[in-house]
Chains A and B, each alone.
Chain A
Amino acid sequence: MRVRPLVLLALLCLGLLALRPDARLEGALERVLGPSRYLAQVTWPIARLGRVELRASEATVVASATGSRAASAALLERWYAAALPRAPDLVEGRRLVPGEVLGRSAGGRDQLLVRPWSLEGLSVGLPAVVREAYIGRIAEVDTVRGIVRVDLVTGRESHVGARVLALDGAELARLVVGGVATGGRPARGEPVTWLAAHHPSRTDVDDAWFGARVVVDELLPELDPFGKLAAGYGLGAFARGASDGDWRVEPIVDFLHGLSSLVLLAPGTTRAPALPDAPPHPLEEPLWVAARGFTAGDPSPWRASVKLDRGLDSGLRVGAAVVRGARLVGRLGAVSASGSTVRLLADPGLELSALAELEGRPAEPPRLLGRLVALGSDPQSGRPRFLWRDVLAIEHTQAATDSASVRARLTTAAGDLGLPAGLYLGVAMLPLGSSGGAGHVIELEDAEDALRGAERLFVRQVDPRLAGLEGPP
């Protein structure tokens, strides 16, 4: 049997499209698939069949949502407070403006989109910090959208003057820090990164230097007029690269996945009265659209997804959060004009940022876990499993040195457009100690089937002020 060359060409094109995503072509394909999505809606009785087993009333959902919302609001409050610098010498003479990281700019990974609690007094060049760590400076204040763009110190064009300090506080050298130095890049996954160090004042490096603290200290006010505000904030630990003269700074924050909230430093005299009011909890914002799921599950057994009857026409975009009550059930994958696909928490490859509140450690602030990647559901328990890349591991406490894990309540963290902070994820046991770079696998204990009994789901619309700001994935 002879297969026409046209068919073979079509197969080749399909193969390329299947393996190499192209946003424009896939958008066109979604439009072509539009009519079939309408056709698929006639299968809703099967979806109903899947939900009659354990139907919860809307009242139950609302009641649990209220409890979860209150808990996550308290968690967020503690989280924002934890981002504030504490050391008196780092606070003195500065006005602190907390901000929520909305995501990365379309300009690249090295620019953050931040919604400050207040725009008053903010201007280009002011430093941005997380606790006692310097991360960059304001590049633009967008008063129309109510956001600022922050250039991270990891940017190719970024630089800041710094000092290397010995343990006793003595200055060992001066240098310029900016850009990224990469380590051995794995074939897959993310590279290990350091901050690059340039132009050292001395080259006779002693072994005792390695591990020494590197702090911001800009000598030239003409280069950085607000340098004094950032003086003393940490950049990381001095480290050696692959060869002599290749100096680096091991950062104290995870620049790739560990930025969820920050503090902007403005000139001022006092701290406490200057803190503006916190923004409302994300669930209280008028950005949620009710949607109906019309499928019971994904035909592919390795996937976990549901189709919704709302799409672009309702202001929904890829990556938007989908909740039932206050619990996050997934994020939107593909979105067409009139429908969308929810990638549930157990859908392999789904990514989100998470905050953890550790049980039995009430005095500790919430932990930013960074990026969690879904690995599918556990074959036995059916619970969603995630890979947690523990850039900053959870250490043992003195009280319980023999336990291998700690129970934690997880909620979403800010840092992705469409996925706000404070949405309840579930309870998980977090392994203690470092995984050595391999990452830990964690399991959500109470999220076996968040869709059961769900009559309606709520999807977060794009904030009209932030439309068009979608950055790189």
Chain B
Amino acid sequence: MRRFVPYLCLALWSTWLFALQGWWAAGRAPGGLVPDLGVVLLLGIAARTDGARARRVALVIALSRAALSADNPAALVLAYLAVALIAAPIAATLDLDRPWLRALLAALGGGAIALWLPFAADLRAPLPAGVEPSGGSLGWPVALATAVVALALSKALRALPGLGPLWREEGSWELAARGR
């Protein structure tokens, strides 16, 4: 049972973060500058954990977002799982806690998700001929906002109460070796 508590905490925190993101996105964000807080949280945890756990974290984050969004849940799960799958091998060889690397990956992840979701929605229910999906232009603003938030808040987000067991209990020898 103790194994599930951190995931429950993760679900709770990511739901609140996405609710905040939704509040900001609902007509308040200038120029579509809406950070993907899920990507920021995922990369913060993936920097200090193994691939399998990063995938489980991605799944929880995606389901939390699906609970608040009109986007297709399968498209969301696929998007966050893909970010986790790409981040895990990078985290195994490079230190994802380096600010600029983290910001770069967050920008790529956030921007790709912002492009993928409108694309998937358009394929599921095509808009009339000649109409571009309206989210097509949001890749850059979301990438930029996500990078900035990742620079500032990534470590703070993973340090939210209850999330420690998801990344602190990793094999200390491995982390120590990486640190050397």
CB within 8 Å of B: which of A345-371? 347-349
Query: Is B68 part of the binding interface, using a Cβ–Cβ cutoff of 8 Å?
Result: yes
Q: Which residues of B contact A20 (CB under 8 A)?
A: 124
Query: Is A203 part of the binding interface, using a Cβ–Cβ cutoff of 8 Å?
Result: no
The reply to whether B22 and A299 form a contact with Cβ atoms under 8 Å apart is yes
Q: Which residues of A contact B138 (CB under 8 A)?
A: 301-302
Closest to A438 in B: B130
Please, how many angstroms separate the alpha-carbon atoms of A10 and B59 in the complex?
Answer: 12
Please, how many angstroms separate the alpha-carbon atoms of A303 and B76 in the complex?
Answer: 14
The reply to whether B26 and A50 form a contact with Cβ atoms under 8 Å apart is yes
Query: Is B135 part of the binding interface, using a Cβ–Cβ cutoff of 8 Å?
Result: yes
Q: Give the residue among B25, B68, B117, B125 with the most A Cβ atoms within 10 A.
A: B68
Query: Is B73 part of the binding interface, using a Cβ–Cβ cutoff of 8 Å?
Result: yes
- Interface residues as binary, B6-32 with A (CB distance below 8 Å gives 1, 0 otherwise): 000001100110111111111101011
* Whole-angstrom distance between the Cβ of A316 and the nearest chain B Cβ: 15
The reply to whether B131 and A373 form a contact with Cβ atoms under 8 Å apart is yes
Please, how many angstroms separate the alpha-carbon atoms of A473 and B69 in the complex?
Answer: 22
The reply to whether B55 and A33 form a contact with Cβ atoms under 8 Å apart is no
Q: Which residues of A contact B123 (CB under 8 A)?
A: 19
The reply to whether A18 and B25 form a contact with Cβ atoms under 8 Å apart is no
The reply to whether A1 and B89 form a contact with Cβ atoms under 8 Å apart is yes
Q: Which residues of A contact B82 (CB under 8 A)?
A: 11
The reply to whether B67 and A302 form a contact with Cβ atoms under 8 Å apart is no
Closest to B8 in A: A39
Please, how many angstroms separate the alpha-carbon atoms of A188 and B88 in the complex?
Answer: 39
Q: Which residues of A contact B34 (CB under 8 A)?
A: 299, 301
Closest to B22 in A: A297
Query: Is B48 part of the binding interface, using a Cβ–Cβ cutoff of 8 Å?
Result: no
Please, how many angstroms separate the alpha-carbon atoms of A295 and B18 in the complex?
Answer: 10
Please, how many angstroms separate the alpha-carbon atoms of A186 and B126 in the complex?
Answer: 12
User: SS class of chain B's interface: helix, strand, loop or mixed?
Assistant: helix
Closest to A4 in B: B52
The reply to whether A49 and B23 form a contact with Cβ atoms under 8 Å apart is yes
Query: Is B159 part of the binding interface, using a Cβ–Cβ cutoff of 8 Å?
Result: no
Number of interface residues, chain A, beta carbon within 8 A: 61
Known contacts A43-B19, A375-B134; A299/B73 CB under 8 A: no
Q: Give the residue among B12, B20, B129 with the most A Cβ atoms within 10 A.
A: B129
- Interface residues as binary, B89-103 with A (CB distance below 8 Å gives 1, 0 otherwise): 100100000000000
Query: Is A40 part of the binding interface, using a Cβ–Cβ cutoff of 8 Å?
Result: yes
The reply to whether B129 and A186 form a contact with Cβ atoms under 8 Å apart is yes
Residue in B11, B20, B27, B131 whose beta carbon sits within 8 Å of that of A449 in the complex: B27
Please, how many angstroms separate the alpha-carbon atoms of A379 and B141 in the complex?
Answer: 13
* Whole-angstrom distance between the Cβ of B122 and the nearest chain A Cβ: 8
Please, how many angstroms separate the alpha-carbon atoms of A439 and B25 in the complex?
Answer: 29
Please, how many angstroms separate the alpha-carbon atoms of A43 and B135 in the complex?
Answer: 25
Q: Which residues of A contact B135 (CB under 8 A)?
A: 300-303, 348, 376
Query: Is A289 part of the binding interface, using a Cβ–Cβ cutoff of 8 Å?
Result: no
CB within 8 Å of A: which of B125-158? 125-131, 133-135, 138, 141-142
Residue in A18, A47, A299, A348 whose beta carbon sits within 8 Å of that of B133 in the complex: A348
Closest to B23 in A: A296
* Whole-angstrom distance between the Cβ of B171 and the nearest chain A Cβ: 15
The reply to whether B131 and A341 form a contact with Cβ atoms under 8 Å apart is no
* Whole-angstrom distance between the Cβ of B2 and the nearest chain A Cβ: 20
CB within 8 Å of B: which of A369-404? 373, 375-377, 379, 382, 387, 389
* Whole-angstrom distance between the Cβ of A23 and the nearest chain B Cβ: 12
Please, how many angstroms separate the alpha-carbon atoms of A375 and B128 in the complex?
Answer: 10
Q: Give the residue among B22, B31, B85, B88 with the most A Cβ atoms within 10 A.
A: B22
Residue in A10, A26, A39, A300 whose beta carbon sits within 8 Å of that of B12 in the complex: A39
Query: Is A111 part of the binding interface, using a Cβ–Cβ cutoff of 8 Å?
Result: no
The reply to whether B23 and A375 form a contact with Cβ atoms under 8 Å apart is no
Q: Which residues of B contact A301 (CB under 8 A)?
A: 25, 29, 32, 34, 114, 135, 138, 141-142
Query: Is A115 part of the binding interface, using a Cβ–Cβ cutoff of 8 Å?
Result: no
- Interface residues as binary, A8-42 with B (CB distance below 8 Å gives 1, 0 otherwise): 00110011011111000010011001001101101
> Which 7 pairs from chain A and chain B are nearest by CB?
A297-B26, A302-B135, A189-B129, A376-B134, A43-B19, A305-B70, A18-B75
With contacts A1-B89, A36-B11, A297-B23 known, what are 19 further pairs, Cβ within 8 A?
Answer: A3-B51, A14-B75, A15-B78, A26-B72, A33-B67, A33-B73, A39-B64, A39-B67, A40-B15, A42-B16, A296-B26, A297-B22, A297-B25, A298-B25, A301-B135, A303-B71, A303-B135, A347-B70, A379-B32
- Which A residues are within 8 Å of any B CB, using their own CB? 1, 3, 7, 10-11, 14-15, 17-21, 26, 29-30, 33, 36-37, 39-40, 42-43, 46-47, 49-50, 186-190, 295-305, 307, 333-334, 341, 343, 347-349, 373, 375-377, 379, 382, 387, 389, 438-439, 449
8 CB contacts below 8 A, A to B, read A18-B120, A19-B120, A39-B11, A46-B22, A297-B25, A373-B127, A438-B130, A439-B128
